[in-house]
Amino acid sequence: MVHLDPTAPSRTGYSARMSELLHPRPMNRSVLAFVTVTLVVMYALCVVMFAARVRNSGEWTYFFVPGNLALAWLPLLFAILCHQLSERTTPLRRTLAVASGVLWLLFLPNAPYVLTDLQHYQDSPLIAGWYDGLMLGAFVATGMLLGLFSLYLMHSVIAEQAGALISWLVVLVAMPLCGFGIYVGRVLRWNSWDAIVAPGRILGDLASVATDPLMRSEAFAMTAGFGTFLAASYLALYAIASIGSVRVRA
């Protein structure tokens, strides 16, 4: 005779819990405000560290990094706007939410783009190497968190509107597109807003990339490399954010 353990999780129960895990938590305003404030604190710390470096050394070696990190706020601001607009569905708010989502995707590469500023690291006789490493690491960590949190926020919005499957598909597509956006910014030297004000010139450069084997190879490598890293980073963040969301039996 087979004895059934009533405490053992059923296949149906396990599937339900996995389905719940794959559905991002809806973001309420208090949590959104709390996370945003913590990111503001991190950004302020980065600026203070940079100001202290300039004051003590007189060097402006990394003057562009604070500006790049400021641009990293744009995808989060568009994601917050989309989140607020999607709370109540009217034709106008829905249209504005979709527009905010498109702008979020367009400006998303600005957040992880700060990673590429690490290539400008250089030893200085006026500042300890560990300090520059710590400062640049703080900038990179803040930029990554800004981008990943904006992605989580958009993930939750899309999941509420279109379901978990569609939302994960958007995430999987957004990551390589973000990687390609980093290539366009770092190598082709275009900015996100250039896609609006000068789309024809960007398309001309992209046509050159498509026909040049060396440029095409570099574009593919950066797209795949950054896309894979961002996807793995987001999965890690998502897993951490999901702790405690579902009670899973051993």
Q: What is the mean pLDDT of the chain?
A: 89
Over the stretch 29-85, which tens digit does the pLDDT of each residue have?
A: 899 999 999 999 999 999 999 999 999 999 998 999 999 999 999 999 999 999 999
pLDDT band at 26 (very low <50, low <70, confident <90, very high): confident
Break the chain into its structural domains and give their ranges: 24-241
Residue 204 has pLDDT above 60, yes or no: yes
150, 75 in Cβ contact below 8 A? yes
Q: What is the 3-state secondary structure (H, E, C) of 113-174?
A: HHHHHHHHCCCECCECHHHHHHHHHHHHHHHHHHHHHHHHHHHHHHHHHHCHHHHHHHHHHH
Determine which of 153-157, 192-196, 216-220 has the lowest per-residue pLDDT on average. Answer: 192-196
Bridge partners (DSSP) of residue 94 are none
pLDDT band at 245 (very low <50, low <70, confident <90, very high): low
The pLDDT of residue 246: 55
Q: Quick one: average pLDDT of 192-202?
A: 87
Q: Is 164 exposed, middle or buried (0-12, 13-18, 19+ CB in 10 A)?
A: middle
Residue 87 has pLDDT above 50, yes or no: yes
Give the whole-angstrom CA distance, residue 177 versus residue 82. Answer: 20
pLDDT band at 249 (very low <50, low <70, confident <90, very high): very low
Q: Annotate 189-216 with b (16+ C-beta within 10 A) or e (fewer).
A: ebbbeeeeeeeeebeeebeebeeeeebe
Give the whole-angstrom CA distance, residue 123 versus residue 121. Answer: 7
Residue % of the chain over a pLDDT of 90: 68
139: tokens are: 């900038």
pLDDT band at 247 (very low <50, low <70, confident <90, very high): low
- CA-to-CA separations, 226 to 29, 75, 114, 151, 218, in angstroms, rounded: 31, 17, 12, 15, 12
79, 147 in Cβ contact below 8 A? no
Give the whole-angstrom CA distance, residue 103 versus residue 78. Answer: 7
179: tokens are: 């990687």
pLDDT band at 11 (very low <50, low <70, confident <90, very high): low
